[in-house]
Every structure is written in structure tokens, then in C-alpha cells.
Amino acid sequence: MLFGIEWDTSSNLAFAISILPILLIGMWVTIQATVLGFFIAIVLGLVLAALKSVPLKIVSWPAYAITEFIRDTPLLIQLFFLYYVLPEYGLVFPAFLTGALALGIQYSAYTSEVYRAGIEAVAKGQHEAARALNFKSLRTFTHVVLPQAVPRIIPAMGNYLVSIMKDVPVLSVVTVLEMLNVAQIIGDRTFNYLIPLSMVGGLYLIMTLVASSAVRYLDMNLPKRGLPLK
Amino acid sequence: MTDPIIKFDKVVKRFDTLTVIDELDFEVGQGEKVTIIGPSGSGKSTVLRILMTLEPIQEGVVYVDGDMLWHEKANGGVKPAGEAHLRRMREKMGMVFQQFNLFPHMTVRRNLTEAPVKVLGMSKAEARERAEELLDMVGLADQADKFPHQLSGGQQQRVGIARALAMRPKIMLFDEPTSALDPELVGEVLSVIRRLAEEHDLTMLLVTHEMQFARQVSDRVCFFDRGKIKEQGTPEEIFGNPKEERTRAFLKAVLEGE
Amino acid sequence: MALAWGTCDGHTLMHWTEYFGPLMQGAWVTIELTVYSTILGAILSFAAGIGKTSHNPVLKGISVVYIEVFRGTSLLVQLFWLYFALPLIGDAVGIDLRLPPVVAGVLALSLNIGAYGAEVVRGAIQAVSKDQYEAAKACNFTPRQTLFSVVLPQAIPEMMPPFGNLAIQNLKDTALVSLISLGDLAFRAEQLRNFTQDSTTIYTMVLFMYFGMALVLTAIMKLLERNVGRWRAVRR
């Protein structure tokens, strides 16, 4: 029994059907962790990207170094670090929040590069044009660069959303009851790992398929303004 | 004229709904040098690409050196050619491309030896020796160890010609060999082709916009228009006294441009 | 437990410099895992990447299914499946499919990274221009000769930067095998933490050790990149 739902081990099919609702509860946690982690990643990534674009080396260089460090170290270790070290400084979060934070931090390194590349690609040609028109710098950014950069940024961000989804099972190590953890618990108690773990694989295929189709749909239906880049 | 080495019999080539080659009948004799001229989109390059088996045909039959090119005989009937048959037929031909299409990751020498060694089974030593001869012939004996991107366009195209010759073809196909070149580099390529035409009994089929050159090297000039040969004859006939209105208009436009 | 230092109150007994011993042991396992799975992953990348561009429907089908399944699911799910679920299939058909952790780990890592690498290989192959295929045909190369003599030598330099990223990804992913009790760096760190409760020091050290390994790996991949693309670097 898990989440108050009993499983039926009379046959493989009955077992699979009876644990599906339990796995779906785990899937819901997976989705929540994905969304929250993604939200943190796009906000933190924007902060990092902004810091990297500051013309002062004393500001931009540490931002680059931090990005590189985050990107080159495993999510699992970052997660353990947050989970065990933060409480030593009095910062105690629920495991789910710590997990989402770890996902957000890991992926902020990637999203910050997406922002930077997207803005740089647009800025090269258009910035000068805008300067020639004598736009003020911020106005140039919000009215000229951003509207062109956003449609290019969104698909890349979408791909990272899918990647985050696939990394959520790592949170099981700090007791988050996402889908894989739930399947593992069922396996531990019934000694049947094959069916729950295979079902998790199948459910993951469906989730990533749906998510990547959504990203592709967005990509094709976003208005592309400005010059095509490649 | 003896049996033609190339023969197109009512050949049709379509890209989707667009007909590029329209029931074409066309023959080239052994050792003949034939130039194809015509406006762009007239299908003249497609003729070469069909021969090199880069583009399949939809109707008709192409014969090369006595064999069907795109078909092969099978239990009394005829079926579309398989890869083995196409490879056998390709041995007879060499092609020089508009954009050179050299292999950028190989030195000039490897560009010339790779296919003879791998495809013809020539020994490395023999292939190298032959490569030296060919490079000498196109005036690039000192460039053998360079990579294509280190050469000028004209030099690259001369390597392209040497590479095609390295396979000992009976028929050489030149697809606008000077169109991608800067004007000052055209001459060196044309003079190589001219020497080839004069000194060898190769059959040569040449698509070009260089009218002066076509006049000098060809035995016969074919004016292509809308997938067909509109008019053909000796260079004197075509350039001196074209009969068709479209030929006259085309030549006038081109020669004024020159 | 490989650690057997003094009493259970490790915090007072173990100086932080003593952490290096077990951590280095773990780091060595991490390096081995990375090397094995990167090599096996590269082989799988080429097999499936070339397979996906093949005209043979069987080869193509197998490649597409492999790529989609391993890119579409989570590495940890794949690892657990190989380690916990596969033996049950073995039971059902009467073969012993219980994999030692190191085999399950290397297999999961390379199957996963290979699926991503396959897309890189396919992309680079398809980016080679049509002109090159035509030139190869005019030289009468067979499709196989075209692939190995003309296409791959031009495609491989294009693959190197994304391969570099995948190698780093793979290094980071090795940390997950600690969850099937393989004694890699992440595993040793967790052991030490259990023993000493000195989380801050241990995890800071471990983060920097992974970072250092990643920097070395990046340098190696850059070197390799320069090596396979030598012909492109020659100037006139």
C-alpha cells in the first residue's frame, strides 16, 4: 500500500493496473518539480546572463566562473550540498524545495547561455541599426532586441524543460516521492521491479513526447520577427 | 560516324511537375567533342547529371558505350538498373563540377589517388605515379601536398579535371567548369581543357557559357532550349549562321554580354 | 564499509586532509567509469547515428527506436531498470541477467550518452554537402567507401564540440551510479559524510574535484578536436 492505494498481485496485468494510480501521483510530483525547477532556472539564468553582460570585468568574470562551475559539477552533488549544508546555516527547506532549487541552479548555467546567445545573435546587426536611429539603450533592448530574441530563446528553453523533467528522478535521493522513487518503493515491497520500472519508462516516454511536441508546436507558431538567423 | 558512344532515346526527366528534359533524342560519337549551350534552366546540365547517374530519368532510354545506362536486362526483359550495373557504367565516365567538389580533407595528391586505389584497385605506387603525371599535365606538379582550400579557384578546377582523368574514363563531362571562377582564372582552366581536346581521343561533353571557347574546341555545338535540342551543327553553322530565331536571340544576348 | 578509522565519532578523529585518501579512490573509479562509458558511448553513437541515415529499414528502425527510447527516458530510470528490473526478465526466461553494478553502470551511461551522441553523428553526416556525395559518386565510390573516405572524415570535426559537451555530461552522470552502490567519488563522499557529518568540507571538496576533472576532460576534448580537424587549420 502506498498513498492509501492497495496493489493487486494476483496477476501481472492486475498489478500494473493497480499501481498505475500510485505512479500517476508520483508523476504529478515529477511535473511539479519540473515546473518549479524550470521557473527557478529561467529566473536565475537571466540574472547570470545579465551579470555576464555587465562591461565591468569584476562583475562579469565571476558570473562566467560560476556558470562554468555549476555546469561542470553533477546535479547529484549539488543537491547533496544544498540538502546537507544549508541546514548547517539554519536554512531548512522541505526536500521538495531543496530539490527544485538544485534543478534550478544546475540549469541556470544552461539557460543563461541561451539568453546570452539569443540576445547576442540579434544584437549584432540590429543593435547598430537601433543606435543609428538613436534609441536609448534600454528602449533598444526592450523594443528591438527582446521581441526578436524571445522567439529564438523559447525553443531552446523548452528543450531544457524536457531535460529537467528527465533529471527529476535524482531528487529521489533526498526522499522526494517523484515517479521513480514511488516505483522503487513498490519494487522494494513487492520484489517486482520489472513492472513498475518499465511503466515509469513508458510514462517518461509519453511525458517527453508530449513536452517536445509542445515545444516544436510553439517554435513553429511563434511569430518570427526580424531577420532570419541561419 | 561509327556507333554513337552516347545515345538518348526519347528521354524525359521531370522534377515533380516540371519537365526539364522533354523527349530528348541526342547522340554523341566516339571521340567527339560536343558543346551544349543554352539559357539557364534549359536542361543542359541535367543531360550531364543524367549521364553521371546523379539524376534518374522517368522515360526513355540512355545508352552509353553500347549498354543501357539506367536499365539492365533481366530474364528477357528490362528492369531499372541496380547499383552494381550503375557502378559498372560510371567507370566509363568522369565529371568535372562547376563548384569543383574536391574532397576538402584530402591533399591534392590524395584527391587523385583515393578513387583509383579504392575503386579501381590500383596499387598505391602506381596511383601516385599517375597522379604526378596528371598534375604535371595540368601544371600543378608542385601543389601535390596542399589542401584544396589552399589553392585558387582555377587551380582547384584543374585538380578537379585531373581527378576525373585519374579514373581513366572514356567520356569526360564538364558541367560549366569555369562559371564559378573569377574572370582572370578562366583562361588557365580553358587551356587545360583545350589541350585535352586536342591531344586525346576522349569523348567530351561540355556545358559552358564561354562561346569563344566552344567555337574553338567543339566538333559540334548543340543549342538547348526547354529540355530539347533546338538546333545543332558545326561551330561555324551555329555561331556563323544560326537558323532558329531563339538561337539567334540567345547568341545575341550572350555575345553582347561578353 | 571500506572506511575503518578509529571510533564512530569520526568528526573529531579525522582531519579534513584525511578525506583525500578515500575521495581519490572514488575519483579514480569515476575516471574509469567516464573513460569506459565515453568510449562505448562513442561507438554506440556512430553505430546508431550512421544507422539512422541508412536506407536499410531494419537498421534504420533499430537505430530510431534506440535513440528515441534512451533520449525519451531518464538516465536514472534506465540505470535502475538495468540493475533491478532486467534480472527479473532473466528469471522469467531462465538466464542469469544480474549485472554487477559496474557493468550496469557503464552500460546505462553509455547507452544513454550514445543515444544523444547518435543525433550528433546523424546531424553532422547530414550536414556534409550534397556536392560531396555527387563527387564521390562521380569517382565511383561505393556507398560504404563514400561514408568512410568522404563523409565521415568531414563530419567528425563537426561532431567534436558537441561530443565535448556530451563527455562532460557523461562525467557528471557517473555520480548517479553511486546509487547502485558503486564506489565512485559521489559514493565515497556520501560514506565520509555518514561517518564524519562534515558535509560542508566534504561536498565542497567533491564539487571542486569534479570541476577539476571536467576541466581536464575539456582540455583533452579540445586537443582531440584540433587533431581530427587538422586539415581545416592549414592556411594557404
Domain residues for the domain of A168 are: 12-117+154-221
Q: pTM of the full predicted structure? A: 0.87
Chain C contact for B101 (CB, 8 A cutoff): yes
Q: Which of A79-83, A111-115, A142-146, B195-199 has the lowest mean pLDDT?
A: A142-146
* Domain presence at residue C5: no
Q: What is the DSSP letter of A171?
A: G
Q: Does A80 have pLDDT greater than 50? A: yes
Instruction: Quote the cell numbers at residue A158.
Output: 523548452
**Nearest CA-CA partner of C234 in C159, C157, C164, C135:** C157
- Cross-chain Cβ contact B102/C135 below 8 Å: yes
Instruction: Average the pLDDT over C106-132 and give the result.
Output: 96
A218 half-sphere exposure, CB direction, 13 A CA radius = 16
Instruction: Quote the cell numbers at residue B8.
Output: 538518348
CATH number at residue C164: 1.10.3720.10
CA B105/CA B97 separation, integer angstroms: 18
The tally of domains found in chain A comes to 1
- Read off the amino acid at residue A74: P
3-state DSSP call for residue B214? helix
Looking at the DSSP bridge assignments, the partners of residue B8 are B26, B62
Nearest chain C residue to B147 by CA distance is C231
**Nearest CA-CA partner of B213 in B39, B33, B44, B27:** B33
* Domain presence at residue C181: yes
| Res C195: pLDDT | 85
Give the dihedral sign, CA A98/A101/A105/A110.
Answer: positive
| Torsion-angle region of B53 (φ positive above 0: left; ψ -120 to 50: alpha; else: beta) | left
* Domain presence at residue C3: no
CA C94/CA A207 separation, integer angstroms: 33
Determine the Cα angle at A125 with ends A124 and A126, to 5°: 100
| Res B64: pLDDT | 93
- Cross-chain Cβ contact C153/B163 below 8 Å: no
Please check whether residue C141 is in contact with residue C38, taking contact to mean a CB–CB distance below 8 angstroms: no
* Domain presence at residue C13: no
Q: Does C1 have pLDDT greater than 70? A: no
- Which residues from chain A sit within 8 angstroms of residue C85, using beta carbons? 187, 193-194, 197-198
Q: Does A123 have pLDDT greater than 80? A: no
Looking at the DSSP bridge assignments, the partners of residue B72 are B79
- Residue corresponding to grid cell 549584432: A124
Dihedral angle of Cα B65, B66, B71, B72, to the nearest 10 degrees: -120
CA C208/CA C201 separation, integer angstroms: 11
* Domain presence at residue C170: yes
| Res C183: pLDDT | 87
- Read off the amino acid at residue B188: E
Q: Which of A2-11, A91-100, C35-44, C71-80 has the lowest mean pLDDT?
A: A2-11
Domain residues for the domain of C188 are: 21-230
ipTM associated with this complex: 0.91
* Domain presence at residue C8: no
Instruction: Average the pLDDT over B144-162 and give the result.
Output: 93
How many Å lie between the alpha carbon of C131 and the closest alpha carbon of chain B? 6
pLDDT band at C13 (very low <50, low <70, confident <90, very high): low
Please check whether residue B113 is in contact with residue B127, taking contact to mean a CB–CB distance below 8 angstroms: yes
- Which residues from chain C sit within 8 angstroms of residue A200, using beta carbons? 77
Who among C134, C149, C154 is closest to B101 (CB)?
Answer: C134
The tally of domains found in chain C comes to 1
Could you tell me which residue, C231 or B230, shows the higher pLDDT?
B230
| Res A229: pLDDT | 44
C63, with CB counted inside 10 A (0-12, 13-18, 19+), is: buried
User: How many other CB atoms sit within 10 Å of the CB of residue C125?
Assistant: 21
* Domain presence at residue A143: no
* Domain presence at residue C28: yes
| Res B127: pLDDT | 94
- Cross-chain Cβ contact A74/C199 below 8 Å: no
* Domain presence at residue C219: yes
CA B200/CA B192 separation, integer angstroms: 12
Looking at the DSSP bridge assignments, the partners of residue B61 are B9
Please check whether residue B190 is in contact with residue B206, taking contact to mean a CB–CB distance below 8 angstroms: no
pLDDT averaged over every residue in chain B:
91
| Res A129: pLDDT | 66
- Cross-chain Cβ contact A192/C88 below 8 Å: yes
List helix spans (H) across B123-182.
124-137, 153-165
Residues of chain B with pLDDT > 70, as a percent, come to: 98
Q: Which residues 6+ apart lie within 8 Å of B52 measured at CB?
A: B90, B93, B95, B173, C134, C137, C138
Please check whether residue B68 is in contact with residue B57, taking contact to mean a CB–CB distance below 8 angstroms: no
CATH number at residue A216: 1.10.3720.10
Nearest chain A residue to C217 by CA distance is A72
B near C: at least 3 beta-carbon pairs less than 8 Å apart? yes
